[in-house]
Amino acid sequence: MSHDHDHSHEPVTGAGEAPAAARVRALEELLVEKGVLEREDIRRRIDWLVSRTPADGARLVARAWADPAFKARLLADAREAAVEVGLDPGPSPVVVALENTEQVHHMVVCTLCSCYPKSLLGPPPDWYKSLPYRSRAVSDPRAVLDEFGVELGDEVEVRVVDSTANVRYLIVPRRPEGTGSLGEDELASIVTRDSMIGVALPAAPA
Amino acid sequence: MHDRGGSPTDAPIDRTEHELADWEILMDAIENALEHRGVMNTDQMRRGIESMPADEYERASYYERWLFSTEANLIERGVLAPGEIDERAAR
Amino acid sequence: MSLPLGTTVRVSTRQHERHHRTPGYVKGRRGRIERAHGHFRNPETQAYGGDGLPEQELYLVSFDLPGGDRVLADVFEHWLEAAE
């Protein structure tokens, strides 16, 4: 395959692809060729990643709403509670669920990088990884919540949790009014990813 | 540069989301696999990202930072030679 | 060193140029122990190929924000001093 010598040091990418795309593919090829990694292992990890969705976290929240004894177990040790429900809590040794109440509203950030409970919530949204979120969440959380359309009264204490180490945090949002008759599956369907980060409030179905 | 908490900014939070590109998922999987094999660990990965020159750090996307760090760590460890990725990517 | 829940602590302001996970915005601040996570390998040495031993206690510590809000961060014991 001939190519223009002017571009001989440019990565070969498909139309519209970031240059990084070709470099990552090259990285994979090299690591497999050198016997450092196995292609099958990489494939399995890709499959795992694409299977991660917020539905898992939502199941934990819905069960906690429906079952006070489970909620107590979830708040004591969210990793164990996830395993109990047959979910994969991910590689973090500690997962902590924090409950939002009438008095306290938690939200999560990782100011140093972008740590996130992706096993239970899927990959983090771009805004979570963004420099403005990482900067502003810990100095003016109410302004950030305002941008997300969440207004809390002065009597509510906002607690911003910065996951600086290997502990992953999941927020258990408040159960909305008017959901008393919903079964667990229906409850899970109203628990959004953003509500489990703490930047949104779940809404009862219309 | 990586330590952003409380950095002075009023910049609004852009809530546009993008689905991860195949190469980003692949990068995540490669890094996971390397950690699982004990070739590098999370702390080395983070340190590598922190070693990025400030302007590169700001410009790079999340997984571009991962690529930078993984490449730097692998070169440090002698698993890859400098420039080896670029050479292969240009084929 | 074991810090009971509710203990008032202060985060060290010591210079640390190499990799560490104590964010700048908590250094020097007074906080309160909210949760004890147990002990973990030290990222400061693991980041340079060390084994991270001995493990260090990790605590969730809360700090004041204006208006009665709080910011919380996971801080290793060797960054914390008991305070008034």
Asked if the Cβ–Cβ distance from C46 to B3 is below 8 Å, we say no
Choose, out of A106, A114, A138, the residue to mutate when testing the contact with C (most C CBs < 10 Å): A138
**Residues C34-62, mean pLDDT to the nearest whole number:** 95
| pLDDT at residue C74 greater than cutoff 60 | yes
C25 close contact with B: CB closer than 8 A: yes
The pLDDT, as a whole number, for residue A121 is 98
Asked if the Cβ–Cβ distance from B71 to A27 is below 8 Å, we say yes
Tell me the C-alpha distance between A188 and A195, whole Å: 12
Distance CA A41, CA C20 (A): 31
User: What is residue A16's predicted lDDT score, i.e. its pLDDT?
Assistant: 67
pLDDT of residue A7: 41
pLDDT higher than 90, residue A13: no
Out of A16-25, A94-103, A145-154, pick the least confident: A16-25
pLDDT band (50, 70, 90) for residue A206: confident
Tell me how many domains chain C contains. Answer: 1
**In whole angstroms, what is the distance from residue A18 CA to residue A15 CA?**
9
pLDDT of res. B91: 84
pLDDT in tens, A53-97: 999 999 999 999 999 999 999 999 999 999 999 999 999 999 999
pLDDT in the model for residue A3: 41
The reported pLDDT for the residue numbered B6 is 83
**Mean pLDDT computed over A152-168:** 96
Asked whether residue C34 is domain-assigned, the answer is: yes
Structural domain contains residue C1: no
Whether pLDDT at C19 is above 50:
yes
Check if the beta carbon of residue C31 is closer than 8 Å to that of residue C11. Answer: yes
Residue A5 binned pLDDT confidence (cut-offs 50, 70, 90)? very low
Residue A6 has pLDDT above 70, yes or no: no
Domain ranges of chain B: 22-89
Contact A28 B49 (CB under 8 A): no
List the domains of chain A with CATH numbers. 11-50 (no CATH), 52-197 (3.90.330.10)
Q: Which residue among C19, C23, C26 places its CB closest to the CB of B43?
A: C19
Interface of B with A in 10-49 (CB under 8 A): 10-18, 20-23, 25-30, 32-34, 36-37, 39, 42, 46, 49
Chain C residues touching B38 at Cβ < 8 A = none
What domain range includes position C32? 8-82
**C25/B6 CB distance under 8 A:** yes
- Contact indicator for A171, A98 with CB cutoff of 8 Å: yes
Mean pLDDT of the region A155-166: 97
Q: Tell me which residue of A150, A156, A131, A143 sits closest to A194, measured CA to CA.
A: A150
Give yes or no for a contact between C76 and C58, defined as CB atoms under 8 angstroms apart: yes
Going by pLDDT thresholds of 50, 70 and 90, the confidence category of residue A18 is confident
Decide if B5 contacts A138 (C-beta within 8 A): yes
Q: pTM value?
A: 0.92
* A11: pLDDT strictly greater than 70: no
What pLDDT is recorded for position B88? 95
Dihedral sign from CA coordinates of C33, C35, C39, C45:
negative
Task: Mark whether A135 is an active-site residue.
Answer: no
pLDDT of residue B81: 97
Least confident of A1-5, A91-95, A124-128, C72-76: A1-5
Which three-class secondary structure string do you get for B27-52? HHHHHHHHHHCCCCCHHHHHHHHHCC
Q: What pLDDT is recorded for position A12?
A: 62
Kindly state whether residue C37 falls inside one of the protein's structural domains: yes
C2 in a structural domain: no
Which one of B42, B70, B91 has the shortest CB-CB distance to A12? B91
- Cβ-Cβ contacts under 8 Å for A160 (sequence gap 6 or more): A106, A107, A108, A109, A137, A138, A141, C65, C69, C70, C71, C72
CATH number at residue C59: 2.30.30.50
ipTM tops 0.90: yes
Q: Decide if B88 and A133 are in contact by the 8 Å CB cutoff.
A: no
The architecture CATH gives domain B22-89: Orthogonal Bundle (1.10)
Band (pLDDT 50/70/90 cuts) for residue A164 is: very high
